[in-house]
Chain A
Amino acid sequence: MSFLESTKPLSDPLAGVKQYMPVELINDAETTRLEKELEKLEQQINELLKGRPEQSLSAELEAEVRNLRAKVEGLQQQIHSRLSPMERVRNARHFDRPYTLDFAHLLFDNFQEIHGDRRYSDDPAIVCGMANFLGEPVIIIGHQKANLKSRKTEDRKERNFGMPKPEGYRKALRVMKMAEKFNRPIFCFIDTPGAYPGIEAEERGQAEAIARNLIEMSRIKVPIIITVTGEGGSGGALAIGVGDVVYILENAVYSVISPEGCAAILWKDAAKSDKAAQSMRVTAQDLKALGIVDEIIPEPKGGAHKDHKAMAQILGEYLAQALSTVRCLSTDELLEQRYEKFRRMGAFEERLLS
């Protein structure tokens, strides 16, 4: 609600975009210690298994493995709970986070970018293209927060910090329609602070562009696999987020408004973003519990920004799995399931009225 209410005027010339700039996440010593412990446990399990299938283990060994696995899970939770929701948001904004183009090259073959909305312009904050996934032609669509070579501020500006304008959403839709025409699946990667709040974006119909994508994505006749890879920033994220399977990376977030924006409106104080992030339930675990995402994809130790290759490998397995699952459905079943998926979202009760 109320984007209308006033927040304090800012005097810092970069203040406007600063909120969209990433911050380095500080991993504290305790987290590092826990991660080392976790590593040890995993090693122990591997030593016990010695590469053998689990069914072939003696009852005694099996119990031991099970025991160790429980410990691993406990530790993972412990590590996880060390990050506050706002720290997770910062992690999701980390400037070394893998972006769509990283995945396009690490996870797919022969990526060939498709530019422009054929109406107005080419939005660098959203990239689209053809590629091969496990030998099969597919379409990739995703936000792009920075140029790949350098992730410095200049290269972020060129990509408008990953904040799309209407032409970005219209390009995405155009490319989705092409995927539909040639019966190729679509992979979307979400990582944006949100749609760009600017004069031209409003003039060219930011709201209409987002709305159009929502209605059209709900009836595109090919599989759409969504992954929230970083920041799922409100309508600007959802505009490429309607699909058959919705994954989220372990440290990614998805929210209706940025924690800073929420804090500025509800607490009248942008500094209360910690509270806002907590209250809005923005973490992957929260979103899974709320039924908004289907599955959480684990990140390599220390986060996706530490090892893009490892992240791409894990993600690839999930994407392959998702694709093979939805592949079994007829087009009618696919669209019906997609409708039901979003139809179910929400929480309400029906009261007895006197």
Chain B
Amino acid sequence: MAWFKREKTGTLPSLPSEEERKVKTEGLFSKCPECSHTLFKAKLEENFYVCPKCNYHFRIDAQQRLRLIFDNGEYTEFDQNIASTDPLNFVDTKPYKERLAKTQESIGVLDALISAKGKIGGHNVIVCAMVYEFIGGSMGSVVGEKITRAIELAIKEHIGLVIVSASGGARMMEGALSLMQMAKISAALANLDQAGLPYISIMTDPTTGGVTASFAMLGDLNIAEPGALIGFAGPRVIEQTIRQKLPAGFQRSEFLLKHGMLDAVIDRKNLRSYLCQSLDFMIS
């Protein structure tokens, strides 16, 4: 049996994850990139896409994530119609407009974040999940606006907020507008905090740059999946600046936990129960 139920009330088609896609082409088996163990596809799915041998957490997509954490995997998406207008007319090796259109077409969402409402442990909660497959989960105006609206809605309805991050950081193609989303979201989070409402930040592989340096680090609880890359500067940039090899495990969840930057590292199979307990604690 699948670990999540298939029914859901979201309006856009569900997207196959990298692994699902890979699994489809390779048949019934998949290989763990960490320990090279050969995994039976159905078993992997049953095990929350976690290698049973070495606990390697495969990346899962935003919609799988939402089904995993909401009660009965049921949720309603909102604000799914917000799209970038390419305010800078940005062109690198190809026009940003083209990049956007192609990605929207292939992934089935308009930008790198899904906002959803549902229940977790019986509590009404808003969950925003980043879509890493969408231009590296980068944060531009749309991600900023959607999270801000989600926060404002949580305040209006007096309910809690969960954000699942998976992002390379601010989106370069929207220039300083992307940078300003960090301030915009953080200011909204100040109001959520003022209202005494819960905010739980879940960091997944990878969470870096302006996303880490804004909302991802501002939860009442900041937690991460095992082995996730989490940091501000990217490892390559650090290596080039200090001209040293980085220590093993640098910027991984366990490293952050050790340095006091995370409240807990939570296995995927325990994520739901962790959320339920935390929300029970926060909501009376």
Contact = CB atoms under 8 A, between A and B. Distances in A.
B121 interface: no
Interface stretch (A97-105, A137-145, A260-268, A303-311): A260-268
Given A3-B169, A7-B240, A210-B232, A204 B218 contact: no
B238 interface: yes
Contacts of B260: 205
Contact of B184 (A202, A219, A343, A350): A343
Interface string A1-32: 11111110110010111000000000000000
A116 interface: no
B93 A266 contact: yes
A348 B147 CA distance: 13
Contacts of B215: 211
B106 interface: no
B74 to A, nearest CB: 20
Given A1-B137, A16-B243, A203 B83 contact: no
B232 A206 contact: yes
A201 interface: yes
A300 B208 CA distance: 39
Interface in B196-243: 206, 208-210, 212-218, 229-238, 240-243
Contact of B232 (A5, A207, A214, A254): A207
Contacts of A290: 87, 175-177
A198 B175 contact: no
Interface residues of A, number: 73
B92 to A, nearest CB: 4
B261 interface: yes
4 closest A-B pairs by CB: A3-B234, A1-B138, A197-B233, A346-B141
Interface of A: 1-7, 9-10, 13, 15-17, 195-199, 201-208, 210-212, 214-216, 218-219, 232, 234-235, 238-239, 241-242, 254-257, 261-262, 265-267, 275-276, 279-282, 286-287, 290, 292, 338-339, 342-343, 345-353
Given A2-B168, A238-B182, 17 more contacts: A1-B138, A1-B169, A7-B236, A7-B240, A202-B232, A206-B233, A211-B213, A215-B186, A215-B187, A216-B190, A218-B187, A256-B170, A290-B177, A339-B187, A345-B177, A346-B145, A347-B174
17 contacts: A1-B209, A5-B236, A6-B236, A10-B240, A198-B233, A199-B238, A211-B212, A235-B210, A238-B182, A254-B179, A280-B88, A282-B176, A345-B141, A348-B141, A351-B83, A351-B110, A353-B11
